[in-house]
């Protein structure tokens, strides 16, 4: 699919980036979405939320899904998680069709979904406990994940004692403790302030490099998508479908300094064009002038 799409010239990949994509191509597909669509019934008749979605995510790949609000990003990820069912097509995880939620697909939500009655450690141990894994071994394993997100001092704290960023770090550790085949992240940093969000992005990249993780990450923040992703799926609205797949030409490891590199800016510019087409950007509001002519600052 995506390999057939021709890259625009300004998204030219450097030899090392191209080599990296070739390595990824050789890996098995963890998640495959085939001709998937979702229709909702509403008062005004059926609404096509998603239409003919096709893509796949390979092992250890970092894929971002980007699109305007209301384009069905959340519906897509809920279907991938098994919390919602497609009305056409199917989702395959490791070749098996997805029929419901399962521990092979971990998820980090936009809101805070930690269990407030459990401590950080108990939260992280929740997944293993569901399949009966308890005791010393499970506990030390959980502590390892907590250490991975840098919260070992807060292992015995309750979620209400943590800041927003810390809660999301626990949520990541909790999802990873199940060792899912793919980690689904639904705008996990959307509620955080800019400073914390930048820290969390770096932190997530470090975790992703350190462990065997495949990540599908939903965001509406273009910088975030370019900074994190190998490939970016751009969802277009009305009808919702994969509008374009961009292979990000920015070399890894990525840092905040690269936000100003030509390849980064070129990718971001391309995304900008896709998400906010020219016509839309030109549309302006009629704003009445309320300042005197001689008071003009321009």
Partner 1 sequence: MSKRTKPREPWFAVGKPLSGYQAAIPMALSFVIPILIWCFAAYAPFLWHVDYRITMTSEPSDKEAFPATYVVDDTMEESFFESFQDSIRQDNKILKEQREAGTVEVASARAGRRANQKVLKNFEPVMRANGWFTTEKTEENVSAYFKAYFAATYETWGKLAAGELKPASGTLSRENLAIVKDNWALLSSVSPTYDSGNFLSEPIYRLIPEGKKVVGRPAYLPAPHEVVVRGWQDFRGESELGELNVWEKYASSLRVVISGFLLCVLIGIPLALLAGTFSFFARLFEPFTDFFRYMPAPAFGTVLMAIFGVDQQPKIALVFLGTFPQLILMVANTTRLLEQPMLDAAQTLGARKGQLVWRVVVPGILPSLYNDLRILLGWAWTWLVVAELIGTKSGLTEIIDTQGRRFHFDHVYPIILLIGLTGFLTDQVLANLRDIFFPWATEGKKSPLARLFRWVGSRVQAWRDVDPPVAPVTVEASTEGESHP
The residue ranges that bind partner 1 (CB under 8 A) are 78, 81-83, 100-103, 105-107, 109, 111, 113, 115-118, 126-127, 129-131, 153-163, 166, 171, 174-175, 178, 184
Q: How far apart are CB 131 and partner 1 at their closest, in Å?
A: 6
Q: How far apart are CB 222 and partner 1 at their closest, in Å?
A: 26
* Choice between 66 and 151, CB closer to partner 1: 151
* Choice between 175 and 215, CB closer to partner 1: 175
Q: How far apart are CB 114 and partner 1 at their closest, in Å?
A: 8
* Choice between 201 and 267, CB closer to partner 1: 201
Supply the angle between the helices 164-176 and 135-148 in degrees, to the nearest 10: 130
Between CA 95 and CA 101 the distance in angstroms is 16
Between CA 44 and CA 33 the distance in angstroms is 28
Distances 120 to 129, 153, 160, 175, 203 between C-alpha atoms, Å: 14, 10, 10, 13, 18
Number of H helices, E strands in the chain: 10, 10
Q: How far apart are CB 6 and partner 1 at their closest, in Å?
A: 37
* Choice between 83 and 92, CB closer to partner 1: 83
What is the residue whose two structure tokens read 């030409």?
249
Q: How far apart are CB 20 and partner 1 at their closest, in Å?
A: 30
Q: How far apart are CB 71 and partner 1 at their closest, in Å?
A: 21
* Choice between 167 and 241, CB closer to partner 1: 167
* Choice between 175 and 235, CB closer to partner 1: 175
- What is the b/e burial string over 185-203, where b = at least 16 CB atoms within 10 angstroms of the residue's CB? bbbbbeebeeebbbebbeb
Contacts of 2-6 with CB under 8 Å at 24 or more apart are: 2/55, 2/231, 2/245, 2/247, 5/244, 5/245
């Amino acid at each position: 699919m995506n390999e057939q799409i021709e890259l625009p010239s300004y998204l030219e990949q450097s030899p090392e980036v191209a080599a990296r994509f070739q390595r990824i191509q050789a890996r098995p597909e963890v998640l495959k979405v085939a001709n998937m669509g979702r229709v909702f019934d509403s008062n005004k008749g059926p609404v096509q939320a998603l239409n003919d979605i096709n893509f796949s995510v390979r092992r250890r790949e970092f894929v971002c899904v980007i699109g305007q609000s209301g384009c069905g990003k959340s519906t897509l990820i809920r279907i991938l998680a098994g919390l919602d069912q497609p009305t056409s097509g199917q989702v395959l995880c490791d070749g098996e069709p997805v029929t419901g939620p399962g521990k092979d697909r971990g998820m980090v939500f936009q809101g805070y979904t930690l269990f407030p009655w459990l401590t950080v450690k108990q939260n992280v141990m929740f997944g293993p406990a569901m399949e009966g894994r308890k005791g010393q071994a499970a506990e030390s394993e959980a502590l390892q994940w907590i250490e991975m997100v840098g919260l070992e001092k807060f292992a015995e704290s309750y979620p209400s004692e943590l800041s927003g960023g810390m809660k999301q770090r626990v949520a990541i550790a909790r999802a990873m403790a199940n060792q899912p085949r793919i980690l689904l992240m639904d705008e996990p940093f959307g509620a955080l302030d800019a400073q914390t969000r930048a820290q969390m992005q770096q932190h997530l990249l470090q975790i992703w490099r350190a462990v065997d993780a495949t990540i599908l990450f939903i965001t509406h923040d273009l910088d975030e998508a370019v900074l994190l992703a190998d490939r970016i799926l751009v969802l277009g609205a009305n009808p919702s479908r994969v509008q374009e797949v961009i292979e990000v030409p920015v070399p890894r490891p990525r840092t905040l300094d690269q936000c100003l590199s030509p390849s980064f800016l070129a990718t971001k510019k391309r995304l900008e064009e896709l998400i906010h087409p020219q016509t839309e950007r030109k549309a302006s509001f009629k704003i009445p002038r309320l300042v005197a002519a001689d008071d003009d600052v321009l």
